[in-house]
Structures are given as C-alpha cells and as structure tokens.
Amino acid sequence: MKPRKSMLFAAQGLMLALALVLSACGAPPPATEAPPADLTGSLTVLDWAGYDAEDFWIDFKNTYPKVTVNFEIGASDADIYGKMKAGDQADIFHPYTGWLQFYVDEGLVEEIDTSKLTNWDKVPDNFKKIGQIDGKQYFIPWDWGFTSVLYRTDKIPEGVDSWSALMDPKYAGHVSMWDDGPGAVTVSTYIHGYDETAVTAGQLASIKDEWIAQRDLNLFYWAGEPELVEGMKSGDVWLAYAWQGAYALLLGEGVPVEYANPKEGRNSWVGVYGIRKGTENYDLALKFLDMKLAEATGNNVVNLFYYGHSNQDVMSGITDETLKQAFSVDDPDILNKTNFTPNLTADQRDAWTAMWAEVKAAP
C-alpha cells in the first residue's frame, strides 16, 4: 500500500507540474510589444494644480495600469515656461495659447507623431492648427474655453454688450479684471479694433493709460477663479473678465449671472500638451497624450471643470442644460464670434507684462 500511495502522489505531482508548464505555454507573450495592461514604465507630467487628479487622465490609467505617472505643478504659463527653460525633466507639459512659440524657438518641444494617435481624427482641424507651429504639429490641443464679460443680471439689468463695460464708470468699485498683462492688451485691442498681433508702441501707451484709469473702477485683480467666483457670489463684483468655468460654477449655485456675447466677439483660449525634446519616454508620452484625447477623460474635463475638450464626440455628447449654455452649444454662430488668442512673441510678452506692472505701480 505504502509504495503505491507514494507513487500516486508522485504521479499527481507530475501532472500538476505538467499542467503548470502547459498553461504557461498556452499564453506565450507577444513577440512585438507587451499588451497595454502589462506595459510598465514611468512618466512625469508638468501640469497645473488640479489637472493631476486621476479624472483627467483616467483613460490612460485604465489602459496602462502599470505605468507610473508623476506630476509636477506649475502655477502659470510663465512658471511652466520658466521651469522647462531651466531644464525640468518632465516628459509632458501643459501650456496655453499665447505661450507656444517660445517652446519651439528655444528647442524645448518635440514634434508629435500624430500617426500613432488613435484619437487624433476626433479632433477638429481648427483645433489641430492651434498646435501647429512653422507647419509642424508640436502640440496636441486638449482643453479650451471662452473668455468674455461675466455679469450679475440683478445688478446690471440693462445687460452687457461690449468689452468696454469693464471700463464703464457706472460700475465703479464693482469690476474685477484678471491679473494679466496680455489679457488686458487683448481686451483693449478688441474695444479699439487694433490688430492684436501688431500693437504699436503708441497703442500700447494708450492701452496703459486706459487700464490705469480702469484701476479706479476695479475692486481687485483676480488671480484664481475661486477668488472671482466668491466675489461675484457675495455681490461685491458685478462684472468681470472671466472664463466660462466661473460662469458655469455660478449658474450651478443659482447666482443670477449672464455670460456676455460682446459685439467685438468673445475671446477663446486652448490648452495644449507638448512632449519635451530629448525625453527617453517619447513613445509612452504619445500613448499618454492619445489617452488624454479619449472620451472618458474628455467627459470629466467637461463635467468637472466646465471646460471644453478637443474631442468632438465629447462636445456633441453634452446634454446638461447648464453646460450647453456655458459653451453656447446651441448657438451655431458662436465660433465665428470668437477670437483665438494668437501666439505672443518674446518682445510682445516683455512689453505687455511690463505695461501691466506699470499699471499696478502707477500713482
């Protein structure tokens, strides 16, 4: 009995071993590339605070669960540019329209191989163009939004139909401008019909005087959206230079606000992602950007931040009334009434930011 029993065990053990070997052979690893779920590696993204939340890269996380994604935070476009300039090793970074040319001029950004992006054909051509510089696709467009005048309808029942409302003495003490030189120049060029890409020294001098005069009407220059939302909610601020994120937030809280369609047109901005020149993770970075364009991620941008997304399917899928209103989805003419922020040159950037500093320092 004994020997037979031990033989039985041996046979069982052999079969088990055989089964293990067979099962291992049954699933051989693909010869070319590991499946997405097994892909490992790590990526570093230089982004704005809040965008590091998983909601905003959920498709990548779900598709490539074994890839580690690290985030560094930049406070503004100038800050992100400064960090990249100083040799930051992030693989991917997130600048906004106006600041794109510098990265190309300074050799900080790698061209995007769009043939490897599966979601690329969902991006409308007018958005693709925004990421092209000198005829090459250096950036992929991602989030976008409007800038316009946001106002309290209970305080300004007559409504706002022009950017010049920000300079109307009627509203003294209840206006809030964004704390940004190029933003101020943009508003003035709309009001006076200047060419935003060719502002002369004389025009800039009069723009400076205009904003120095505006300062007496302005309650505070807002630096972050929450500050503006709080000011408008409390009723201290009646009208402001604002992004539609603030509009959607206030609508959601039941504050009576309207987002103007100024006769000069709204302004529009686009956030883009670029890949650092010289990164060792170029292919992985491309995969990250591809997944950034995917639908679940895009829906989160729309629903959580109230910003637009460059994936057309995401935008046409919006059903929420508040959001439809915020994006003017039902106004087929809205994009024709919008001016995209052009890229600044280094000289414009220096002159316009210095102009703004002098406005703030003026007696």
Partner 1 sequence: MGRSESRAVTTPVPSRPSDTLPHPAARGMGEGRGGGLDRRATFRWLYLPPLLWLGLFFLIPLSLMAAFSFRANIRGNLLQWWTPTLAHYTSLAATGSYWRLLGISALMAFGVATIAVILAYPVAYFLAFRAGRRAGLYLVLLLIPFWTSYLLRVMAWKLMLGTEGVINSFLQYVGLIQEPLTALLYNRNAVVVTLIYVWIPFATLPILAALQRIEPNLFEAAADLGARPFQQFRRITLPLSLSGVFGAFFMVFIPTIGEYVTPLLVGGSRGSMYGNIIQDFFTKAANWPLGSALSMVMLVTTLLLVFIATRIINIRDLLE
Residues 188, 181 contacting (CB under 8 angstroms): no
Closer to partner 1 at the Cβ: 87 or 332? 87
173 binds partner 1 (CB under 8 A): yes
Q: Point out which span in 153-161, 211-219, 255-263, 307-315 binds partner 1 (CB under 8 A).
A: 211-219
Report yes or no: 91 and 43 within 8 Å, Cβ to Cβ: yes
Helix, strand or coil, per DSSP, at residue 136: strand
- How many residues line the site for partner 1 (CB under 8 A)? 39
Q: Is 168 in the site for partner 1 (CB under 8 A)?
A: no
* Contact between 243 and partner 1 per CB under 8 A: no
Where do the H-state alpha helices sit in 45-180?
Answer: 58-63, 77-85, 100-105, 125-130
Buried residues in 88-98 as b, exposed as e (16+ CB within 10 A): bebbbbbbbbb
d(C-alpha 205, C-alpha 218), whole Å: 20
Q: Given the structure tokens 């800039």, which residue do they identify?
A: 204
Pairing status of strand 239-243 against strand 175-176 = parallel
Closest separation in Å from C-beta 233 to partner 1: 10
Tell whether residue 170 is a contact of partner 1 (CB under 8 A). Answer: no
Cα angle for residues 48, 278, 68 (degrees, 5° grid): 50
Instruction: Figure out which of the listed residues 55, 179, 225, 320 binds partner 1, where binding follows CB under 8 A.
Output: 179
Using the rule CB under 8 A, is 340 a contact of partner 1?
A: no
Query: Which residue, 29 or 87, is less far from partner 1 as judged by CB?
Result: 87
How buried is residue 50: exposed, middle or buried, by Cβ count under 10 Å (0-12/13-18/19+)? exposed
Mark 98-137 with x for binding to partner 1 (rule: CB under 8 A) and - for no binding: ----x--xx-------------------------------
141 lies in the binding site for partner 1 (CB under 8 A): no
For residues 93 and 73, is the Cβ–Cβ distance under 8 A? no
Q: Tell me if 224 contacts partner 1 by CB under 8 A.
A: no
222 part of the interface to partner 1, by CB under 8 A: no
Contact between 357 and partner 1 (CB under 8 A)? yes
The footprint of partner 1 (CB under 8 A) covers: 75-76, 78-79, 81-82, 85-87, 102, 105-106, 173, 177, 179-181, 215-216, 218-221, 223, 234-236, 346, 349-350, 353-354, 356-358, 360-363
